[in-house]
Structure 1
Amino acid sequence: MAVKYTKHYLDKLENLFAASDYVLRYEKGNFKSGYCVLRDTKIVIINKYFPIEGKINALIDIIAELDFNPKDFSEKSNQDFLRELRQTTLKF
């Protein structure tokens, strides 16, 4: 699956976090990688000044790092999207 750098694609990624135990927030800050994951409180913070491409790439990296399981999501659309993401590799 090819990564699409659109607002709709970003919305689909945000929906995965909304359906998970993690809270997704956009905040300003000096993040080296563009994001910060606070595992104990299950908060993911993305640099709000990142362009849409940076936000999408950061969310994909975080999803891979957190190793979400498709079976943990109740909606089939989220399960399918997560399975497709696992087959995606980013090219910089």
Structure 2
Amino acid sequence: MGVKYTKSYLDKIENLFSQSAYHLRYEKGNFKSGYCILKSTRVVIVNKYFTLEGKINALLDIIKELQLNPKSFEDKKAQEFLIELQQTELKL
């Protein structure tokens, strides 16, 4: 599956975080990678000044790093979407 850089695609990814144990926030910050993961408090912070493409790429990186379990999601569509995202390779 290819990555789509649209607002609705970003909304779908954000919806995954709302269903997970992690809380997603957009804030300003000087993060070298563009995001910060606070695993002990289960908070993910993404630079709010990123472009749409930057936010999507950062969230995809975070999903791969967190290794979320699709079975922990109750919604079947969310499970399938997460599996697709985990198989997606970003090409720069």
Q: What TM-score, normalized by structure 1, do the two folds share? A: 0.98
1:86 deviation in Å? 1.6
Whole-angstrom CA distance in 1 between matches of 2:83 and 2:30: 32
1:9 aligns with 2:9: yes
The aligned counterpart of 1:72 is 72
- Displaced runs of 4+ in structure 1, greater than 2 A? none
State the superposition RMSD in angstroms. 0.5
Unpaired segments ≥5 residues, structure 1: none
Whole-angstrom CA distance in 2 between matches of 1:86 and 1:55: 16
Unpaired segments ≥5 residues, structure 2: none
Q: Deviations over 1:10-69 (max 9, x none)?
A: 000000000001000000011111100000000000000000000000000000000001
Letter matched to residue 51 of structure 2: P
Identity of aligned residues (%): 68
